[in-house]
Amino acid sequence: MKKILVTGGAGFIGSCFVKMLLKRKSRKHIVILDKLTYAGNIKNLEGYIDRDCVEFVKGDICSTRLLDNVVPGVDIIYNFAAETHVDRSILKGASFVRTDVMGTYTLLQKALEYKVSRFVQVSTDEVYGSLDKGKFSENDPIEPNSPYSASKSGADLLVRAFYKTYGLPAIITRSSNNYGPFQHPEKFIPLFITNALEGKPLPIYGDGKNVRDWIYVEDNCRAIDIVGRRGKIGQVYNIGAAEEKENVYIARKIIKFTGADKNLLTFITDRPGHDRRYALCARKLKSLGWKKEYTFNKGLGKTVKWYQENKEWWQEVKRGSFKKYYRKMYGKRIAASREEKAKK
Ligand code: NAD
Ligand code: DAU
């Protein structure tokens, strides 16, 4: 029986990945290791962690002692665990360096020591930096612009080094922006959907013309699974759905889908170092047989519906420490934007 370790499995993408694995009939034992930071939520796994083939361990990927208990006997590791929000990394980056760099290093060491047969590092297109035209390919240089993407880049380089130096059978996936159910409302799409449902401002950074290449979370999880099974050791695989959209286009779509007042759209001071555009070439991934199932329109419609039907989930998340973060991040910028509008 295959023993699979999913770190960060209580987060947005990790929990979707666990659910996808469980839908499959094959015999397996899944160990979910998650620190349950503010971003982790055990409710994301409701109805799944009480199964016999699933074991949930609350803990830190930086703990060698814990990994000495968890990693022996594991066949494949999927490392989703990370600090993930760019804006938080700009406010305070230490936890990003700790988890994304040191945590990955600790996990790599233990994967090597306990002879894990595959290590899949879940990385991001943000490591490439920003580009005006064209698409990033796996051979492009790493040029990160935020403490988050710099930490993820550090992890990618360590994964590469463990493959080159020690022959660790590792693979890296670099996906574009995910969206879908269970995404923390600090991120753009769920923040805008939930604020629209609450009649609150939709705080758009700068001119709103930054572009991201959006992928529905289930499409990314299927891709990570395919790369884990069919990908070539030592390689990097981009995961993108070729759905490039400007932020302001998405904001207007969300207003339309939710029926919110269009005056909620509020342009505020830009994010420092804000990457203008991401776009990925996913040819290498497609050669493994992957194809997206969701267009942006279909995925966004499904996502809005989920947030409309699962208010309890996000209202609880928004009630906690999120309130303080939201005030700090948006309070003055929204007020300044209102003042400016009033002057005109
Ligand atoms: P998320 O913030 O929703 O979840 C991260 C999870 O990791 C949480 O459950 C958290 O509790 C856990 N975690 C954090 N620090 C930990 C630690 N030290 N030890 C153990 N667990 C810890 O993030 P997500 O959006 O699901 O992203 C998952 C992975 O995918 C990350 O590695 C991220 O860099 C990558 N990624 C995300 C996107 C995206 O658009 N969300 C795109 C590309 C890549
Ligand atoms: O590209 C993959 C990355 O996508 C992942 O590696 C990160 O973990 C994930 O957080 C995401 O990073 P982004 O910075 O692109 O995502 P975010 O949701 O924070 O922002 C998306 C875009 O929306 C970006 O151009 C900034 C803008 N934005 C975001 C927020 C939160 C706003 O205009 N207003 C907002 O309030």
How close is the Cα of 194 to the center of ligand 1, in Å? 21
Share of the chain above pLDDT 70, in %: 100
Quick one: pLDDT at residue 25? Answer: 87
Is the beta carbon of 275 within 6 A of some atom in ligand 2?
A: no
- Position 320 confidence tier, pLDDT thresholds 50, 70, 90: confident
Question: In the structure encoding, which two tokens stand for residue 251, read together?
Answer: 């904001």
Q: 344 pLDDT exceeds 90? A: no
211-213 vs 244-246, strand pairing mode: antiparallel
Give the whole-angstrom CA distance, residue 148 versus residue 54. 30
User: Is the pLDDT higher at 343 or at 329?
Assistant: 329
How close is the Cα of 124 to the center of ligand 2, in Å? 12
Test site for ligand 1: of 15, 18, 37, 322, most ligand atoms within 8 A of the Cβ: 37
Q: What is the tens place of the pLDDT at every residue in 178-224? A: 999 999 999 999 999 999 999 999 999 999 999 999 999 999 999 99
How close is the Cα of 85 to the center of ligand 1, in Å? 9
What domains are there in the chain, each with its CATH number?
Answer: 2-180+216-239 (3.40.50.720)
β-strand partners of 136: 280
Quick one: pLDDT at residue 66? Answer: 98
* pTM listed for this prediction: 0.98
For all residues of the chain together, what is the average pLDDT? Answer: 97
How close is the Cα of 172 to the center of ligand 2, in Å? 21
Test site for ligand 2: of 121, 187, 245, most ligand atoms within 8 A of the Cβ: 187
Query: What does the pLDDT average to over 108-127?
Result: 98
Query: Catalytic: 113?
Result: no
How close is the Cα of 340 to the center of ligand 1, in Å? 37
Which whole-number Å values give the CA distances from 100 to 86, 150, 273, 287, in the listed order? 13, 9, 20, 29
Q: Evaluate whether 180 touches 16 at the Cβ level (below 8 Å).
A: yes
Query: What does the pLDDT average to over 115-125?
Result: 98
- Position 90 confidence tier, pLDDT thresholds 50, 70, 90: very high
> Which member of 34, 125, 219, 243 is catalytic?
125
Q: Whose CA is nearest to atom 42 of ligand 1?
A: 177
Is the beta carbon of 205 within 6 A of some atom in ligand 2?
A: yes
Quick one: pLDDT at residue 179? Answer: 98
Give the whole-angstrom CA distance, residue 131 versus residue 337. 28
Give the whole-angstrom CA distance, residue 35 versus residue 41. 10
Atom of ligand 2 nearest to the CA of 152: 6
Closest ligand to C-alpha of residue 333 is 2
Which amino acid would we find at residue 162?
F
Exposed e or buried b per residue across 14-24, where buried means at least 16 C-beta atoms within 10 angstroms of its C-beta: bbbbbbebbee
211-213 vs 202-205, strand pairing mode: unpaired
